[in-house]
Copies of this chain bind each other. A is one copy, B any other.
Amino acid sequence: MIYGGIEAGGTKFVCAVATAEGRVWDRVQFPTESPVPTVAQAVEFFRKHEGLTGIGIASFGPVDLAAGRITTTPKPGWRNFAIVDALREKLGVPVAFDTDVNGAALGEWKWGAAQGLDTFLYLTVGTGIGGGAMVGGKLVHGLHHPEMGHIRPPHDGSFAGVCPYHGDCLEGLACGKAMEERWGKPAGELPADHPAWKEEARLLACGLVNWICTLSPKIIVIGGGVMKQAALFPMMRANVETMLNGYVPIPEIVPPALGDDAGVLGAVALCL
């Protein structure tokens, strides 16, 4: 039995075919363009693999999970795009659908850093900021789905933020795009001793404190392009310790065990 997964990100699509044990057989990635050619590229990849049992899509959002649509994204062309129908019609297999971060959380739970833990948090800090959480063994859904990047951290007002909806939400202040706009270079080009990282660690720690106080996760797994700066992990943790001041215990804060496959294997996990 083989399964397909699509990590549908705002910057790139990653498609993979894998076994039920999370072993990747084939993989492709390409930039996220407008919906029609992007979906066509995914379909072309999956058609090469006969006998697909189903595919899972772990998508950027916000999404309407019941309708299988991406909703209020500012990304050109994708607003209200019915991605689930588009793929089901072309491929003729069942399609599972959730947010990119819920998918990645499920992947880390099945095969990664959160194995055996019923309550934990997965975060990504990349083009955007998002979080997927499992509580009592279930992914958090609810009225809509979490959009954790849009919480409001304290800041000194010296940078207005880049979120088109909120300006200075956490994503608006601390995502990769925000770092590039604020410091004049992509995060990947800022050296570990650049003051950008001190402020990034402080902002992310405000988010972590909020999530620790709200969800009490047993582990926090953080992936995404910005987190390639390994110096961020100890700096964030030191900030969290200072801010919480011993009031509640702090979980381990680690990178994804699945590395860059966390997203696409999470998508596969959705359809198992």
Which A residues contact B (CB, under 8 angstroms)?
A: 62, 72, 119, 131, 133, 135-155, 165-166, 206, 209-211, 213-218, 243-249, 251
Are A215 and B151 in contact, CB atoms less than 8 angstroms apart?
no
Distance, CA A243 to CA B165, complexed state (A): 9
Minimum CB–CB distance for A269 against chain B, Å: 17
Distance, CA A145 to CA B215, complexed state (A): 8
Q: Given contacts A142-B119, A152-B154, are A166 and B215 in contact (CB under 8 A)?
A: no
Tallying the copies of this chain within the complex gives: 2
Are A141 and B247 in contact, CB atoms less than 8 angstroms apart?
no
Q: Which residues of B contact A119 (CB under 8 A)?
A: 140-143
Are A214 and B217 in contact, CB atoms less than 8 angstroms apart?
no
Among B148, B154, B218, point to the contact of A213 (Cβ < 8 A): B148
Distance, CA A35 to CA B145, complexed state (A): 42
Are A213 and B153 in contact, CB atoms less than 8 angstroms apart?
no
Look across to chain B and name the residue whose beta carbon is closest to the beta carbon of A120.
B142
Q: Which residues of B contact A146 (CB under 8 A)?
A: 213-216
Among B139, B152, B217, point to the contact of A206 (Cβ < 8 A): B152
Q: Which residues of B contact A214 (CB under 8 A)?
A: 131, 133, 146, 148, 151, 210-211, 214-215
Distance, CA A135 to CA B120, complexed state (A): 13
Minimum CB–CB distance for A200 against chain B, Å: 16
